[in-house]
């Protein structure tokens, strides 16, 4: 087996490790993927809240609840670590909001459409962050690692890597696309 072989985008050695650590990994992964998709939609909606602070609190609550639900799938007890994880996700939510604000100040248009575009951008960023945070936690739990050990810099590095790899696609995080995907996944 070559060292660059992959299974569903995951290096084979990591995929094998996950299957050894996590029993019934396919069923757990399917359930976790549904949870992440659902909370990514909720994360996108939090980005539409126009009041800075309230949107960050809402995104933090959504992401923390997602992590708790993922932990249940992978049989991790995170109740005593929930505040630590909320702080971690809160910092990333603040970072996403600040980046969106910086981008909007660089925009040259001051039309009424700008407010809508900025809200859509914030929604897409919030949805993307929620999706990626879910994937980070899912990956760590599949490897049997404590989800509370994930730090802000690990999340930032992962998100930067996803953007560099071209995985940032605002169209996939639109409410229309997510709602369509949610209804499609519920049909199965």
Q: Give the 3-state secondary structure of residue 103.
A: helix
* Overall number of domains in the chain: 1
pLDDT value of position 66: 96
18 found inside a domain: no
Instruction: Give 20-56 pLDDT, tens digit per residue.
Output: 566 788 899 999 999 999 999 999 899 888 888 899 9
Residue 56 within any structural domain of the chain = yes
Q: What is the rounded distance in angstroms from the CA atom of residue 50 to the CA atom of residue 2?
A: 50
Residue 10 lies in a domain: no
Domain-embedded: residue 8: no
List, in sequence order, the alpha helices (H) in 23-111.
25-46, 54-73, 82-106
Within-domain flag for 61? yes
Q: Cβ(36)–Cβ(66) under 8 Å?
A: yes
Residue 115 has pLDDT above 80, yes or no: no
Q: What is the pLDDT of residue 14?
A: 60
Predicted pLDDT of residue 23: 73
Banded model confidence at residue 168, pLDDT cuts 50, 70, 90: low
Instruction: Return the pLDDT at 135.
Output: 93
Query: How many angstroms separate the CA atoms of 97 and 91, rounded?
Result: 10
Q: Which of 187, 188, 162, 186 is nearest to 37 (CA)?
A: 186
Judge whether 34 lies within some domain: yes
Residue corresponding to tokens 């708790």: 68
> Are the beta carbons of 62 and 39 closer than 8 angstroms?
yes
Q: Please compute the mean of the pLDDT values over residues 128-144 and round it to a whole number.
A: 90
Question: What pLDDT does residue 180 have?
Answer: 54
Measured from the Cβ of residue 12, the count of other Cβ atoms closer than 10 Å reads 14
Q: Which domain holds residue 32?
A: 23-187
In-domain check, residue 14: no
Residue 176 tokens read as: 């229309």
pLDDT of residue 4: 42
Q: What is the pTM for the complete model shown?
A: 0.73
Token pair belonging to 155: 């999340």
Distance between CA 101 and CA 41 in Å, rounded?
A: 21
Residue 9 lies inside a defined structural domain of this protein: no
Mean pLDDT, range 99-126, rounded to an integer = 63
Residue 15 has a pLDDT of 62
- Is-contact 180 44, C-beta < 8 A? no
8, two tokens:
């569903």
């Amino acid at each position: 087996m070559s060292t660059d072989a992959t299974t569903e985008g995951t290096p084979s050695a990591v995929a094998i490790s996950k299957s050894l650590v996590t029993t019934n990994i396919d069923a757990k992964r399917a359930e976790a993927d549904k949870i992440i998709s659902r909370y990514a939609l909720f994360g996108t909606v939090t980005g539409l809240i126009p009041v800075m602070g309230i949107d960050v609190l809402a995104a933090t609550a959504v992401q923390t609840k997602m992590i708790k639900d993922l932990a249940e799938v992978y049989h991790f007890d995170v109740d005593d670590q929930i505040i630590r994880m909320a702080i971690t996700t809160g910092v990333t939510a603040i970072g996403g909001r600040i980046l969106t604000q910086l981008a909007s100040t660089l925009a040259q248009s001051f039309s009424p459409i700008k407010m809508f575009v900025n809200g859509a951008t914030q929604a897409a960023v919030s949805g993307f962050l929620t999706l990626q945070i879910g994937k980070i936690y899912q990956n760590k739990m599949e490897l049997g690692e404590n989800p509370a050990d994930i730090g802000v810099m690990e999340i930032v590095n992962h998100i930067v890597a996803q953007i560099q790899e071209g995985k940032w696609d605002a169209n996939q995080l639109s409410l229309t696309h997510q709602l369509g995907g949610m209804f499609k996944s519920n049909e199965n």
